[in-house]
Amino acid sequence: MDKIIINTPDAPAPIGPYNQAIMTGDTLYLSGQVCINPATGELDNKDVQAETHRSMQNLKAVLQAAGMSFKNVVKTTIFITDMKKFGEINEVYGKYFEGDYPARETVQVAALPKFVNVEISMIAVK
């Protein structure tokens, strides 16, 4: 099995021992992204909607580095710290797919890296 590592400066550098994404065959596995602004290294965490936008923008950058877009995404996982914010997150998230939605699960967790409120990971296929 060939693995191609995908990393781009247009998304935040990993904060641990992992890569932004791994391509194997036609499938791209994207690591979870939080609301770190890659230009500043700071959190875009004014509110949960801003966090979701930044997470999606980071994922978009990784997809583009692999020659893909949100149209290639077949599966996402959203981790959130407060299920009461689900509606706000969902409103932002949905705008990125233009009606072509992937399979998904949303899971409430106790905490996330850097104590943010949202982390999103994806699987995409060419």
Look at residues 14, 91, 80 and name the one whose alpha carbon lies nearest to residue 53.
91
How many domains is the chain built from? 1
pTM comes to 0.97
Mean pLDDT to the nearest integer, 11-19: 94
pLDDT in tens, 75-120: 999 999 999 999 999 999 999 998 899 999 999 999 999 999 999 9
> Which domain, by its residues, includes 89?
4-125
Collapsing DSSP to helix, strand or coil, 77 comes out as strand
Task: Identify the CA nearest to 75 among candidates 30, 21, 19, 20.
Answer: 30
Q: Any idea what the CATH number is for the domain that residue 68 is in? A: 3.30.1330.40
> Does position 1 have pLDDT exceeding 90, yes or no?
no
Identify the pLDDT of residue 15.
Answer: 87
